Structure 1
Amino acid sequence: MAISKNSPSTRERLIDSARYLFWERGFAGTSMAELLAHAEVNSGSFYHFFDSKEALLRAVLEQYIELLRPMVVDPAFASTPKPLERIFAILAGYRQRILATDSKYGCPLGRLALEIDPENAPAHTLIARNFEGWIEAIRECILEMKPSLPSGTDTNALATFVLVTMEGGVMLSRSYRSVEPFDRAVAQLRAHFRLLLTASKKKRAR
């Protein structure tokens, strides 16, 4: 039977399967047999593209870097022209994923960051690059808001705080099997931004 030109390649199937299974079961919890079965690939084909499961993990993490903008950031930015609401649109996307998975799986990068051995420096470097890309997207929004924020606001620290809020909220929601902890964290984050904007406005009015 002829293979469609639009069919994913063997390498793409392996990466797609790994991305899904590492999110669902974790890196250690996913066996090579499960990976091969899910991707419908034999071991010979696997080792043609990757010399180890760790090499496949790195390919997954590199793909996350590539997909951050088109899959996460751009849709959120397209939903509103307001920089603050763009931040919360990104967070709303994570809320939808929590609900879609019945609060079971959480953030795939957060899960891998906690699970991967500290000695696996290449993987952690790629995870950090993913987080840096996420922080930079939030920082873009904060920089647009900077004239309305208190002078001296550390935009990188504030963007990092948004990431920490998201990751912590997702982790708690996974443990509690409820989106409620995430919602509470996001509501508190919005209150924090409101306080910053109000304080700056009052100072300018003096």
Structure 2
Amino acid sequence: MQHATKTKLIETGLEIMREKGFNNTGLSEVLSEAGVPKGSFYHFFKSKEDFGEQILEHYARANLAMTEATLTQAGVSPLQRMRAFFESAIDMCACNDYSGGCLIGNLTQELADQNPKMSGILERKWAQQRMLFQANLEEAQREGELSPALSPGDLADFLINAWQGAMMRMKLTHSDIPLRQFLAVTFTSLLR
């Protein structure tokens, strides 16, 4: 029962935080939406910051597991797996009417220069994502799908940065056009 209550709070907080950001997420709204009394919140979380950190860890764990599963799928070439990852992300954005975006990206924009502890957590999450992308791109080079002249680490950083920029524009336009432009340029010009 207690684990279910904590999970409900984290999942409710995640949805609200993805839409409103960390600073604009009120605990009373989370508690009301989750149907949980206020006293229960402090049984599970020391503070709003602790709550935010646990939401971020929960989201990142699921996100990284999905990324790893897609980028390591057997029987598919590395660049096909990378494209499938981004195609899947576009499908998820469509399910959310092209709003909300990536919690890690949203919190990076909101908190990077305001909250050193959260910034450290966010940087570690980006590093984990980068490692998965870099490993995929190194494999693509070994298999001859990608030019050996390109740095897999730099490419991984570029893909993350360009994708996050496309996600920002997606939220502004409420369409997949920026994401589709990212895909077209990335897979017809950059990764060949």
CA distance in 1 between counterparts of 2:147 and 2:78 reads 16
Further displaced range: 13-22 or 148-157: 148-157
Seen in structure 2, the aligned counterparts of structure 1 residues 94 and 36 have a Cα distance that, compared at 3 Å, is same
Residue 58 of structure 1 pairs with residue 58 of structure 2: no
Q: In structure 2, list runs of 5 or more residues that go unmatched.
A: none
Contact in 2 for aligned 1:80/1:86 (Cα 8 Å): no
Q: In the alignment, which residue of structure 2 is the partner of 1:150?
A: 147
Contact in 2 for aligned 1:61/1:123 (Cα 8 Å): no
Q: In the alignment, which residue of structure 1 is the partner of 2:37?
A: 42
**Could you tell me which of 172, 177, 187 is aligned with 2:184?**
187
Seen in structure 2, the aligned counterparts of structure 1 residues 20 and 131 have a Cα distance that, compared at 3 Å, is same
Q: TM-score normalized by structure 2? A: 0.89
Which residue identity does 1:154 align to in structure 2? S
Residue 74 of structure 1 pairs with residue 73 of structure 2: no
Q: TM-score normalized by structure 1? A: 0.83
What secondary structure sits across from 1:78 in the alignment?
Answer: coil
Q: In the alignment, which residue of structure 2 is the partner of 1:21?
A: 16
Q: In structure 1, list runs of 5 or more residues that go unmatched.
A: 198-206
Further displaced range: 142-151 or 85-94: 142-151
Q: CA RMSD in A?
A: 2.0
Query: 1:1-206, aligned counterparts within 5 Å?
Result: 9-75=4-70, 77-78=72-73, 81-116=76-111, 118-147=113-142, 148=144, 149-194=146-191, 197=192
CA distance in 2 between counterparts of 1:71 and 1:161 reads 20
CA distance in 2 between counterparts of 1:117 and 1:37 reads 29
CA distance in 1 between counterparts of 2:77 and 2:100 reads 30
CA distance in 1 between counterparts of 2:104 and 2:185 reads 23
CA distance in 2 between counterparts of 1:88 and 1:75 reads 10
Q: In the alignment, which residue of structure 2 is the partner of 1:202?
A: none
CA displacement at 1:82 relative to structure 2: 0.7
Further displaced range: 72-81 or 13-22: 72-81
CA displacement at 1:70 relative to structure 2: 2.7
Which residue identity does 1:145 align to in structure 2? A
Which residue identity does 2:151 align to in structure 1? D
Q: Which runs of 4+ in 1 moved over 6 A?
A: none
Could you give the per-residue CA deviations for residues 157-202 of structure 1, whole angstroms, max 9, x where no partner exists?
A: 11111111211111111101111111012211112335xx4xxxxx
CA distance in 1 between counterparts of 2:189 and 2:75 reads 21
Taking every aligned residue pair, what percent have the same amino acid on both sides?
A: 25
CA displacement at 1:103 relative to structure 2: 1.3
